[in-house]
Each structure stands twice: as C-alpha cells, then as structure tokens.
Amino acid sequence: MATWLGAPAASGLYQRRQHRPGPKPPEPSNMSDALANAECQRCQARFGPTERIVNSNGELYHECCFVCAQCFRPFPEGLFYEFEGRKYCEHDFQMLFAPCCGSCGEFIIGRVIKAMNTNWHPGCFRCELCDVELADLGFVKNAGRHLCRPCHSREKAKGLGKYICQRCHLVIDEQPLMFRNDAYHPDHFNCTHCGKELTAEARELKGELYCLPCHDKMGVPICGACRRPIEGRVVNALGKQWHVEHFVCAKCEKPFLGHRHYEKKGLAYCETHYNQLFGDVCYNCSHVIEGDVVSALNKAWCVNCFSCSTCNSKLTLKNKFVEFDMKPVCKKCYEKFPLELKKRLKKLADLTSRKAQPKPVDVNST
C-alpha cells in the first residue's frame, strides 16, 4: 500500500578547484594532473585551469551545467531532487513526479500511501469515522469509505442489527453476553467460580461473571425484566422478582415505585391505564369510572352521575326510579308526568319484563 519517492538530496556548495572537499587534499602537482583529465558529468568536456567547478557528491560539473534538467536554471540554495539519474529543482520535481494528497491537496514528498485510487500523506490517510491514522494499521473499504477495522465491524453490525464484541471488535452472530452494559462473545470469559467457558446465560454479580449453575447455588434473585441479579431492594409481583426501577406499567412503562398496581393477564398496569384499557365507561359523562360503579338500566354510571334526569337529585340503587328515554327518573318526578304518559311507560315496562322472562316448555309436546 505504501510507495516511497526519494527524499530530497542537498548538493555540495560551489567549490574552487583548490578547495574541492576530499579525505586528503592532493598535492598541487597531483591536483593539476587530476583536473587535466577530469570531465564534466553532464557535457563530458574538460575543465579550464581557472574555471569554477561544482562538486556534488563526488561528481564534477561546469557551473553552467549544474542546472535543473527541466527548466535549465540553477538550483535555489543548491537544493535539488534526483530521480532516475537526473537532477531537478524542487518546483519541477513536484510538477513532474510528486503526487498530490487526496486529503490536503499538497504535494507528497517522501512516503506515499496509495489507497482508494488516490495518493495520501501518511498523516492524512485516516479512518473517516474515528480519525485514527491508517498508514500502519491497514484499512477496510466500507460503502466507499476507508475505515479502521473496529469501525468497519461496528458499521457492519449496525447494518445487520447485531451487536459488536467490545473485545475482538467482530460481529456477534449468536446471543451476546452482556457485561457492564457492553456486548461480548461469551467464549471470551470463564466462570469466576468453576472456571468453565461461559455462555450467553452467564450472570454478573458484584462485577464478576458466573455460569448459571454456580450463580443459582448462591441464591441471588434474578430480575424478571433484565434477567440480571438483584443485589438491593426486591419487588415481588406477578410471580416474579424485579428491580424496583424495572417493575413498570405495561402501557406507559413508568416504574410503580411502591404505588398500587393492577394486574391483567400476567401484566401490571398503573391505575390510570388499567381503567383506560379495561375499566367501565360512564353512560352520562363518557369517562372511565375510576371508583365505584353503579350498574343500572343495563348501563354503568359514576356514583355522582347517577341522578334523576329531570330534577338532577342524586340516586342510589336503594331509591325507586323509572326508566324514561334510557335515563333514570325519580319517583317524585314520575308522579308529575301526564297520566297518558305514565300508562304508556307502565305498558312498555310490562312488555319488557315479559320478554325477559323465559318461556315455559311443554314437556309433553312432540
């Protein structure tokens, strides 16, 4: 994944013939003999006796020959870049050979990271989620993004609707082991008591993990909601034991915290939602009846709503009343009705009563 370009090389300073660096300066006669046979590295011509000579890492040049191979200009401050045997100034080297970083857009000199069909500075090639450097860690391509392996595993698990193990950072295909609110592969742990490899049924107690048999021997109650040990206060309800904060209304999911609850088909409800879901509705006010219920005229009534429909006086089941227009009328108001109306009401009441009585069956009929 990583490719290297040669690091910049610095040329030697311009030197006069007599000051050419070396392990041991030659004698004047030997120097003259050596220069008489020396040739310019570029043009292959010999040097004049008084000509200035450039010595670059042991290679000799005419001063006019020691220039950039592209722009033929002298190297600023003697700095050049050498590539495939040719020397370039910094500007031309970058324009010709140096790649641009896909992140910062600057030229890359030195180590180049080639990934995702782009070149990068090592410090610019980072995970797109957690921003960790990837140059020496490696990466995984995920939906067009370059991610570190932990982030890739988390994204994969999220897409599959599964947990990611917090130890090995791989997807958990089976039931996870929940430990300190994090998910793990169960086989990463062993029972604190017997040392056996754990399964997803392991239990946590006081910061330690135990297999189910060892935990059951300790007699610690298990919460009916989270299936974890209860170390503090225990709520006993619905034939199970619960953490106080986990024993909640099945409708609004608010904890009861010691308040009264109502049970229905194995579930617990607060008073408000129990009445809304299963309580009687008052015929008069159409609200759920939260207290005592008055059952009369085949209807349910609040205690305060069961009153005479004419004079609004309160009625109880001990009072005498008559049904009129599907509502109760007290005896005093009934007596004030016209005689013809009372006759019709009495006739209707008798008819209703006869219909309610069972018909006799003739056992001798065939």
Tens of pLDDT, residue by residue over 58-96, are 788 888 888 888 888 888 877 888 877 788 887 777 777
Asked if domains 162-219 and 234-277 share a fold, the reply is yes
pLDDT digits (tens, 9 = 90+) for 123-132: 899 998 898 8
Alpha helices in the chain (DSSP H): 28-37, 90-96, 149-160, 212-217, 271-278, 331-335, 339-356
Pick the CATH number of 234-277 from 2.10.110.10, 2.40.110.10, 2.60.120.1310, 3.90.1150.10: 2.10.110.10
Give dist(CA 188, CA 176) in Å, integer: 11
How far is it, in rounded angstroms, from Cα 235 to Cα 257?
9
Q: What is the pLDDT of residue 301?
A: 84
Domain locations along the chain: 36-97, 162-219, 234-277, 281-349
CA dist list (Å): 349 to 38, 315, 320: 140, 20, 14
CA dist., res. 294 & res. 54, Å (int): 117
pLDDT at 18: 29
Going by the DSSP 8-state scheme, the letter that residue 67 receives in this structure is S
**What are 217's two structure tokens?**
């021997």
pLDDT value of position 31: 58
**Given pLDDT bands bounded at 50, 70 and 90, which one contains residue 102?**
confident
pLDDT at 349 exceeding the cut of 80: no
Class at the top of the CATH hierarchy for domain 162-219: mainly beta
CA nearest neighbour of 299 among 321, 271, 274: 321
d(CA 129, CA 320): 79
| Cα–Cα distance measured from residue 125 to residue 166, given in angstroms and rounded to the nearest whole number | 25
Model confidence at 57: pLDDT above 50 = yes
Domain at 281-349, CATH homologous superfamily: Cysteine Rich Protein (2.10.110.10)
Per-residue pLDDT at 25 exceeds 60: no
- For the entire predicted model, the pTM comes to 0.31
Give the CATH fold of the 36-97 domain.
Cysteine Rich Protein (2.10.110)
| pLDDT at residue 33 in the model | 63
Decide: 190 and 199 in contact? Cβ < 8 Å. Answer: no
Q: Amino acid letter at 268?
A: A
Cβ neighbours for 66, distance < 8 A, ≥ 6 positions apart: 11, 42, 54, 56, 74, 75
Residue of 131, 152, 132 whose CA lies nearest to 142: 152
